[in-house]
A and B are shown apart, each in its own frame.
Chain A
Amino acid sequence: MSECHLMKESMPLLLTESLDRDRRELTHRHIETCARCADEWQACRETWALMGELPEVDVPARVREGFLAAAGLSDAQAAPSRSLVPFRRRRTVQWLAQAAAVVIVAGGAYFAGHRAAPVRVAPTAATIASVQPVPYSIAETLVLPASQINPQIEGSPDIQNVQFLDADGGRIGLSFDVTSRVTVTGKPSDRSMVQLLSYVLQNENSLAPSRSQAIEWVRQTYSDPEFADPEIANALARVLRSDQHEGVRIRAAETLRTLPAPVAAETREVLIEALKNDPNPAVRIKAVEALANLARTGGDFDLTTIDTLRLKAAQVDENLYVRAKAAELLSSIQPQ
């Protein structure tokens, strides 16, 4: 086992042809006889090839200055060491290249990433015969507690390949690609976690493998009154209002329906809009059910809501079930 460990440490040097002859021979022999290390070696080669195809993207000056200020470094100090491998960014995966320009979650992840020791080998070229497409990034993974991350997200960082994790002890995790693979873990109520989730929910291209499933995950986590958060509700409302993906809109309306009324109160306007205008009848059904939930749990009916429901219940060309739901909701209005 310890031999495998040593061999894995040698792989980056082998990749850049920096090992001496004896060591190189020893490593090759081990790889030929150890299936696990052979897989590891293959993965290293593929990653190296993939990274070689990425375009160079400059870090925005504002971000760079902010980072250097936070790290207490001058430009000269921040210049790359000669012992560092000049990694070329991957061309084929634009999101990772763009992500290099952004400090996501306000420097926490970036700072931790910077502290992770780079591979210190001489920069020599490597040749890879073929590259297989990979479903997920296999870049370095950082695990950060949400409590160490600034909850303010500046700009529009391009984070990709987002996945949700259920961690132990009621904690949750959010894993995504930025300059590297980052996993943020924490309680659902942590501000940084809420901000991060709100951000990725509205980023149409970031969620893998399915945005609908991601929203379902959010529903399961944040329907609990203990964790329900207006920020999440508002993010879902924006998804409901603007997402072109009908399955996602259905899920968003469905999730809003399960949130406690005080948390979802500000989403009423969006629900009314969805009830009036969404072309998908399932979205309209969920919207009227969400409005009913708001009314049932203490929300008042304003005149706009009443008028919308009245029109919907009387709309001859509306689906009868939607009309019935609107009429049912109107019947719950109590005289004063």
Chain B
Amino acid sequence: MTKAIPAWVLLVAVAPAGAGVVVSDRLQHEVSLNPSGLVVIDNTAGNIEVTGGSDAKVVIRADRVIRADDGAALAEARQHVNRVVEGNDKTRVIRTLGPAVTPRWNAQVHYTVVVPRAANLKIVSTHTQRIRVAGLTGQVTVKSVHGPVVIDDVAGAVFVENINGDVILLAPRVMSANARLSSINGSIAVRTPPDAKFTWEAETVMGEARTAYTVRGGQFLTPTRFRGSVNSPAKVMLITETFGGNVLVMPHGAEESAARPVRSMIRQVIVPSPNPGVGPMMPALANRADVRLPLHQGRYRYETSIGNVHIDEIRGAARIVTGAGEVTLGAVYGHCDVVSYGGPLTLGDIVGPLAARTEAGNISVQRAREGGTIATGGGSILVQYSGGPIQLSSRGGDITLRQAMGAVTADTRSGDITVAFDRSLKTERMVAKTGKGNIMVTLPGRFGVDIDAEVITSDPTVNSIRSDFQGLSIQREQVGGKTRIRATGKINGGGERIELQAMEGGIYIALDAPRVSPMVPH
């Protein structure tokens, strides 16, 4: 049986001049629900509090609070923001309709709902200030963006996804169901009975996972994910995941100061890398700090599991490793070894040999005076000047070397390769391969090399080999439905070997001289 109780409590507050009006009104409603039915609450802004009751009904109290500039805006808000209850005895949906904010008004609806104790509950909210669920035995699912989510004495399975708010679980006396609690930027706190037995998985990238329990068989599955058994192995699973926050799992009544980081109780650290790339495995370090320095005298060494590094000048060799972060170095006077598990690298004047690798992101180098090795797992590479032999590798992205003074090796899975040799050079070796893209090599007028260039393409009218130099012989043949175009020969009498291979792209061997046709500006 459904019983509606219209109860309007109108509160009009005349705010100080310029602040408009604040109006609150209450709607109460009662609807029947099977004891194990489902209640869905979909609210945009406002608090939600749900408790378990003994009756087979849902009791809803919905307070709508509107802040408006004036009477007209208030009327508009009242018209647009509505509370509705839908469904049947098996499923009840409590929903707020309408926008929460407009330029002239904003509205919140605070729900206080009593549901049958065994009912299942699902809450979806975007801008809720606080969600609290207590005294249920059914399954609880909460999805929220802001504000803390508190789950108190819920015996059923619990699934919480929050983004910027904390998640707090106060477990019942007997833990018999799984719980998965996650937040992106918030922390997670769990209180369980001292004798509770469960398997605990904790992941935090930026924060720390701590507990006062004795954890058996604790180990890191990844550099950031820990698993262990609390008290003794059990089927009940507690998963706590956050990116930027901390995780705390404690017995009821225990002092927080008794908690220890799980890193201190691990049996061994396992750092698997399922798909190892050019970068290193992420360093399993507690250090997660950024570095910003104008100058460092002498040799510099820094490792962090996650963090950005920005140093204007290092007067010595540098060795920098970050699990994830941007690395920006203005000048390094010695050997430079930079590794990022993910993030762009921006390097200025590197006096010594350079080794720069990132698992993801672009790499930009102003001057690699002694050349070196530069690799990215995905991203573009731009080197303005290389004074020695250089190897450039990308698993997807363009490679550009504006001025090469030494041998060049460049390969990319998909991207253009553009290399220009310095005008003072007479000959130099080069190998360039792209899995999809063009290769453009600019040679000085007196550069002597043996050319072996190959294009494999399904569209030979578009992709071809072009050269500003005379003396290349070009052959075409059909290979597996594609056309292979090969140009070989000596330029300026020959010299070192230049090998170029472009799949589904063209090759252009250009003369380094002013052209009639302007090129795309660099």
Contact = CB atoms under 8 A, between A and B. Distances in A.
Interface stretch (A116-124, A143-151, A161-169, A185-193): A161-169
B360 A336 contact: no
Given A209-B508, A282-B380, A320-B342, A247 B461 contact: no
Interface in B146-199: 146-147, 161, 163-164, 182, 184-185
B241 to A, nearest CB: 7
Most chain A CB atoms below 10 A, which of B106, B462, B467, B474:
B462
Contacts of B459: 205
B359 A335 contact: no
A310 interface: yes
Contacts of B241: 314
B466 A205 contact: no
A233 B53 CA distance: 55
Contacts of A95: 461-462
Contacts of A212: 380, 398, 415-416
A321 B327 CA distance: 12
Contacts of A313: 184, 243
Given A205-B459, A210-B438, A314-B182, A247 B414 contact: yes
Interface in B378-433: 378-380, 395-398, 412-416, 418
B396 A319 contact: no
Given A95-B461, A323-B243, A335-B147, A330 B184 contact: yes
Given A133-B467, A163-B519, A281 B342 contact: yes
A250 B344 CA distance: 13
Interface residues of A, number: 55
B416 A321 contact: no
Contacts of A317: 274
Contacts of A320: 205, 282, 306, 323-324, 341-342
A166 B521 contact: yes
A166 B397 CA distance: 26
Binding site secondary structure of chain B: loop
Given A247-B396, A250-B362, A323-B243, A281 B518 contact: no
A132 interface: yes
Interface string A314-328: 101101111110110
B342 A217 contact: no
Given A209-B438, A281-B379, A320-B341, A306 B163 contact: yes
A331 B396 contact: no
A223 to B, nearest CB: 15
- The A interface, classified by DSSP as helix, strand, loop or mixed, is helix
Given A321-B361, A335-B147, A217 B521 contact: yes
Given A250-B379, A320-B341, A321-B342, A210 B416 contact: yes
B378 A280 contact: yes
A335 B225 contact: no
B218 interface: no
A245 interface: yes
Contacts of B164: 330-331, 333, 335
Nearest to B463: A205
A160 to B, nearest CB: 8
A136 interface: yes
Given A163-B518, A245-B415, A247-B396, A314 B184 contact: yes
B462 A282 contact: no
Nearest to B100: A336
Contacts of A330: 163-164, 184-185
Interface in B440-458: 440
Interface residues of B, number: 76
B353 interface: no
Interface string A207-242: 001111110110000000000000000000000000
B484 interface: no
B520 A164 contact: yes
B127 interface: yes
Contact of A321 (B129, B341, B415): B341
Contacts of B462: 95, 205
A247 B380 contact: yes
Contacts of B519: 163, 209
A279 interface: yes
A172 to B, nearest CB: 11
Interface string A154-189: 000000000111100000000100000000000000
A165 B461 CA distance: 25
Which of A133, A175, A245, A327 has the largest number of chain B CB atoms within 10 A?
Answer: A245
Interface string B238-249: 000101100000
8 contacts: A163-B519, A211-B416, A245-B437, A251-B380, A324-B325, A327-B185, A335-B164, A336-B127
Interface of B: 44-45, 100-101, 106, 126-127, 129, 145-147, 161, 163-164, 182, 184-185, 203, 205, 222, 225, 241, 243-244, 274, 282, 306, 323-325, 340-344, 359-362, 376-380, 395-398, 412-416, 418, 436-438, 440, 459, 461-462, 464-468, 470, 474, 508, 510, 517-522
Given A93-B461, A303-B126, A336-B100, 20 more contacts: A132-B470, A134-B466, A212-B398, A212-B416, A213-B416, A213-B418, A213-B522, A247-B415, A250-B380, A251-B398, A280-B378, A280-B396, A280-B397, A284-B360, A285-B361, A285-B379, A321-B325, A324-B205, A324-B306, A326-B184
Interface of A: 93-95, 132-136, 163-166, 175, 205, 209-214, 216-217, 244-247, 250-251, 279-285, 303, 306, 310, 313-314, 316-317, 319-324, 326-327, 330-331, 333, 335-336
Give 3 nearest A-B pairs by CB, closest first. A321-B342, A281-B360, A247-B415
